[in-house]
Amino acid sequence: MKQLLAILLLLAASLGLHAEKVRVRLYSANTISQMNISFDLGAYNLYGISASQGDDLQLIEALVGEGRSVAVYVEGGKVRVSVDATDYGSYDKVRLEATDTACILCLNPSRCKQRTYEGDLEVSVQGRNNLLLVGDVEFETYIAGVVQSEIYGNHPDIFRIQAIISRTWALRNLGKHQADGYNFCDGVHCQAYLNRCVRPDIMLGAIQSSGETLVDSTGVLIETPFHSNSGGQTANSEDVWRNAVPYLRAVEDTFSYAMRQSDWVKSFSRERWLGYFAKTHKVDTADDALRDSLLSFAQPCRKVRLLGIPLTRIRVDLQLRSTFFSVDVDSTSGDVVLHGHGYGHGVGLSQEGAIRMVNLGIAYDSVLRHYYTGAVLHHDPMATMGNREQYITQIEQIIEEDRHKQTQVRAKKDDWLGRLFRLRDREEREEVYNEAEQDNEKDWQYEW
């Protein structure tokens, strides 16, 4: 049944503006000179593009799918391509275009971890020896992959919250990498997008959030920065970046206490700690008062500077988990010990605080209002079209079936979607579910 076959991407197609594809640079933090591509589901047409041929698509091979392998590598400033060890020459660009909505390809770059994605793939050369990989993916499918990459948990409302703030950010920043030929990268410069979504509960939260964004009192999309853990108090936007923003105000955040990233400790030798301030910031550490300030700094509440030095600068230079720390000296070793709270820049939503709030039964919209002062949750009426409720019911049924399994086995996305797609039995692709592997708590470097 074609409608079920397209459960994900037809859902996206029902969301008006959100149905557009976005271009996302993949493996943006890596230098990749060669890569093998295999196929988990569906078939792709392989094209080459050459400037000498007017940039027209030239069909290299049609319907490349499961059991086949495409290899690409840099040669002479172009992309050399082969299919199942048969060489097809070099092109300025190579494209793999999906022939249906249910197509999944698997990327295996040299010296990098394997990833799988939906959508199309474009490969070109950047610089002398680097493949530029850009995925063309439906917007809502991208959002689901971001949610999986950015937050952990086991309640759909956690993923609904992350989907809303990730969707809001993406719609506001569609042109972030326009000059580079794509919309976003897959790293902390934008939002992490490290794989396709493979969990039904994450997809459920993303679908439930469809059409939901955060806006200010005038209806304009807001900036939605987030971080792993506030340590008990979020930060004002101007304390970390340049501008004061009315909806990014410091708030008390006891929900972030006693979570995985709540507290941290880091030690330095006395010489290194004082030497850093003397050399980098020209502090006269021979002055008793100045030295005592450096060795007994306390933050019962968040501060912005230490001896006039921005804590954000200290955090970057010394690779600290947050700027929310106090200092004392170990009486035995004489080392300087930093007792810190939280993980990340501290502005906007604390992900672990949000997780705690959801687990306490607090409604997802109340969580958002807690962290984004005065923000309004906007519902796009066009997003209620289509078969959204049917999709939600089907995925809820799959989650309930999983809940009653005796073992911690969870199906990969192509398994549970395969059931909905009515394509084939993909039980051989089941994998052991390990929640720890979902805990991608990398910090988010934000730019205004």
Q: What is the pLDDT of residues 158-173, one digit of tens each?
A: 999 999 999 999 999 9
Q: Pick left, alpha or beta for residue 431 (phi over 0 → left; psi -120 to 50 → alpha; otherwise beta).
A: beta
Q: How many CA atoms lie within 13 A of 423 on its CB side?
A: 21
Given a cut of 50, whether residue 411 has pLDDT beyond it is no
Sorting pLDDT into bands at 50, 70 and 90, what band is 232? very high
Mean pLDDT score, 400-415: 58
Q: How far is CA 219 from CA 57, 132, 380, in A?
A: 42, 37, 12
39 lies in the same domain as 174: yes
104 lies in the same domain as 220: no
Mean pLDDT score, 14-30: 77
Question: Structurally, how many domains does the chain consist of?
Answer: 3
pTM: 0.86
Percent share of the chain, pLDDT over 70: 85
pLDDT of residue 426: 31
Given a cut of 70, whether residue 30 has pLDDT beyond it is yes
236 lies in the same domain as 218: yes
Given a cut of 50, whether residue 437 has pLDDT beyond it is no
Token code pair at residue 329: 């000296």
146 lies in the same domain as 134: yes
174 lies in the same domain as 59: yes
393 lies in the same domain as 429: yes
Within a 10 A sphere around the Cβ of 447, how many other Cβ atoms? 9
pLDDT of residue 55: 79
Mean pLDDT score, 322-337: 97
**The last residue of a domain, from among 292, 324, 341:** 341
* Closest of 107, 195, 87 to residue 149, by C-alpha: 195
252 lies in the same domain as 329: no
412 lies in the same domain as 366: no
Sorting pLDDT into bands at 50, 70 and 90, what band is 439? very low
Given a cut of 60, whether residue 49 has pLDDT beyond it is yes
Task: Find out whether 268 and 396 touch, Cβ atoms under 8 Å.
Answer: no
Mean pLDDT score, 177-201: 92
Concatenating the DSSP letter of every residue in 166-199 gives HHHHHHHTTTTTGGGTSSEESSTTS----S----
What's the rounded Cα separation, in Å, for the pair 254 and 257? Answer: 5
Higher-pLDDT residue of 95, 51: 95
302 lies in the same domain as 409: no
161 lies in the same domain as 97: yes
Average pLDDT, the chain: 86
pLDDT of residue 418: 44
Q: What is the pLDDT of residues 355-385, one digit of tens each?
A: 999 999 999 999 999 999 999 999 987 765 5
Residue-wise over 202-235: b if at least 16 C-beta within 10 A, else e?
bbbbbbbbbbbbbbbeeeebbbbbbbbbbbbbbb
Q: What range defines the domain where residue 58 resides?
A: 1-211+380-448
Percent share of the chain, pLDDT over 90: 73
3-state helix vs strand vs coil in the chain, percent to 5: 30, 30, 40
What's the rounded Cα separation, in Å, for the pair 369 and 365? Answer: 6
pLDDT of residue 407: 55
**The last residue of a domain, from among 290, 321, 341:** 341
Q: How far is CA 383 from CA 16, 19, 116, 127, in A?
A: 7, 10, 27, 41
Token code pair at residue 315: 């955090």
74 lies in the same domain as 105: yes
pLDDT of residue 65: 93
Instruction: Kindly report which listed range (11-20, 292-301, 340-349) carries the lowest average pLDDT score.
Output: 11-20
Torsion of CA 421, 422, 424, 425, to 10 degrees: 100
269 lies in the same domain as 186: no
Within a 10 A sphere around the Cβ of 289, how many other Cβ atoms? 7
Sorting pLDDT into bands at 50, 70 and 90, what band is 77? very high
Element (H, E) at 137: strand 130-138
**Residue pointed to by tokens 């390990």:** 434
Residues 256, 262, 264: CA angle, nearest 5 degrees: 165
